[in-house]
Amino acid sequence: MPEAEVVWRFSRASGPGGQHVNTTDSAVEARWDVVASGVLEGPLRDRALARLGPRLLDGRVLAVHAAEHRSQWRNRQAALSRLQALLDEAVAPPPPRRRPTRKSRGVNERRLTDKKRRGDVKKGRRGEW
């Protein structure tokens, strides 16, 4: 995704940093408009909108917040990579359908004979009092 389409907002982050934390806007919020973007065409855009549905603001904007680093630059990189990971996951093709399978007849027969053998062992342990 082009960085020119990402809208950045900065704010003060909580956490360690001493006096420095009170003066810098190191927390980052990255917003990307999925609908207005020229990156995604029809089917990919529809798939992204469907999969990202609950995460979207106003049904069209994907927002990510990053404040784990002390520097704004590292938080920007973290937010951008998170945004890219979400988008990659959203537009990935659906997994192939599972083909239903059955256990083979031999496996079932072996399971039943082992079960019978185990029952006979336990029956043999019972003593007549």
State the CB neighbour count (10 A cutoff) for residue 108. Answer: 11
Record the tokens describing residue 91, joined without a space. 């537009």
Q: At 85, which CATH number?
A: 3.30.160.20
The pLDDT of residue 102? 93
- Is residue 97, in this structure, part of any structural domain at all? no
* Residue 5 CB-density burial (10 A; 0-12 exposed, 13-18 middle, 19+ buried): middle
Burial 41-79 (b: 16+ CB within 10 A, else e): eeeebebbbebbeeebeeeebbebbbbebbebeebbebb
Instruction: Give dist(CA 16, CA 100) in Å, integer.
Output: 53
Q: For residue 22, is pLDDT > 80?
A: no
Mean pLDDT of the chain: 87
Q: How many structural domains compose the chain?
A: 1
Domain of residue 23 covers: 3-91
Q: Are 19 and 45 in contact (CB under 8 A)?
A: no
Nearest in space to 14 (alpha carbons), one of 1, 27, 32, 33:
27
- Is residue 103, in this structure, part of any structural domain at all? no
- Is residue 127, in this structure, part of any structural domain at all? no
Q: How confident is the model at residue 17 (pLDDT cuts 50, 70, 90)?
A: low
- Is residue 128, in this structure, part of any structural domain at all? no
| Model pLDDT for residues 79-108, shown as the tens digit of each residue | 999 999 999 999 899 889 999 999 999 999
Dihedral angle, C-alpha 79, 81, 83, 85, nearest 10 °? -150
- Is residue 24, in this structure, part of any structural domain at all? yes
- Is residue 40, in this structure, part of any structural domain at all? yes
| Model pLDDT for residues 41-75, shown as the tens digit of each residue | 888 888 888 988 888 888 889 999 998 888 889 99
The pLDDT of residue 36? 86
Record the tokens describing residue 89, joined without a space. 């996951």
- Is residue 81, in this structure, part of any structural domain at all? yes
- Is residue 70, in this structure, part of any structural domain at all? yes
